[in-house]
Structure 1
Amino acid sequence: MTTRSCPCGLPEAYESCCGRFHAGAGVAPTAEALMRSRYSAFVRGDTGYLLRTWHPRTRPARLDLDPGMRWTGLEVLETTGGSAFHSAGTVTFRASYRGGTLHERSRFEQVDGAWVYVDGDFLD
């Protein structure tokens, strides 16, 4: 069996990094970990995980991913709050895809002890 590195950019195997969250074997402990796991879910096309980790207040009824989208890298630029000691946090990141980049400041909150994505602002 070949172990592949995690798409989120951390030097761990997918299965022991974001894969465990995708499989339901725990929840991301910080807003940054959730953001990284959501990026990995976008890479892998895991809409179920993306919807499960979206705040109920802002979650869309459905999510249609572009099957032609190829994500190529993630760079976390800044985090504020988002630890076990916070109820909210932000993560600013740049996600690269074939043909461009997405630069966003995402907002996260804890709901029933789990971090969830609320919304984000696109940055230049």
Structure 2
Amino acid sequence: MTPKTDLSCPCGSHLTLEQCCGRYHQGELAPTPEALMRSRYVAFVLGRSDYLLATWHPSTRPAELAPDPDAEWKSLSIVSAEPPLDTIGYVHFRAFFYERGRVQKGWHVLEEASHFVKEQQRWWYIDGTPSLTRLKPRRNDPCLCGSGRKLKVCCGE
């Protein structure tokens, strides 16, 4: 695996943020449900609640969405991204993060099967079926950020 640099897109594409998800944050429309999901993950990483709300379908969008300062998003893994069926798309992903809060401190994985719809030539996030699991990686396990290094020399506590 190629090590990430500070300019790498957090979605794991190995492109720069500008070449990848950053362009969607600047207004270019995501061409597929997977591209939209990746850009939404990056918005979580960067604390871009405005983008998350702007890409959430009006029928299911919350009134507001506050960033979680205790969640440190580390990596994204696409489990499956079905080719969109005309105006409906699904993406199953896992997002690994470290929670710095007092109660939930530690490593977690958010797994979700997300549902997307295409209206007026634009993909929208509708909803998902999430599950949250607390992880207990060991010091010598591969780091959950995807660097390929051991946890103890990378993102270890």
- Same fold judged by TM-score > 0.5? yes
The 5 Å alignment of 1:25-64 reads 26-64=28-66
State the percentage of identical aligned residues: 47
| Structure with the larger RCO, 1 or 2 (CA within 8 Å, 6+ apart) | 1
- Mark the CA change 1:101 to 1:3 in structure 2 (over 3 Å): closer, same or farther: closer
User: Where do residues 8-23 of structure 1 align in structure 2 (5 Å cutoff)?
Assistant: 8-23=11-26
**Runs of 4+, deviation exceeding 2 Å:** none
2:144 maps to what in 1? none
Matches within 5 A, 1:89-100: 89-98=89-98, 99-100=107-108
Give the match's secondary structure for 2:42: helix
More helix by share: 1
The reply to whether residue 76 of structure 1 matches residue 78 of structure 2 is yes
Give, as a single letter, the amino acid of the residue that structure 1 aligns with 2:120.
Answer: D
Q: C-alpha root-mean-square deviation of aligned residues, in Å? A: 1.5
TM-score (ref. length: structure 1): 0.91
8 Å Cα contact 1:81-1:88 kept in structure 2: no
Unpaired stretches in structure 2, ≥5 consecutive residues: 99-106, 134-157
Higher Cα radius of gyration:
2
How far does residue 81 in structure 1 lie from its aligned partner after superposition?
3.2
Aligned to 1:70, what secondary structure does the other structure show?
strand
Matched residue, 1:115: 123
Q: Pick the aligned partner of 1:4 from 7, 14, 20.
A: 7
Partner of 2:146: none
Letter in 2 for 1:27: L
Contact 1:89 1:107 in 2 (8 A): yes
Equivalent residues, number? 120
Matches of 2:21 and 2:31, distance apart in 1: 11
TM-score (norm 2): 0.73
| 1-structure distance, mates of 2:46, 2:93 | 19
Per-residue Cα deviation, 1:49-77 (whole angstroms, up to 9, x for no partner): 00000001000010012112100000000
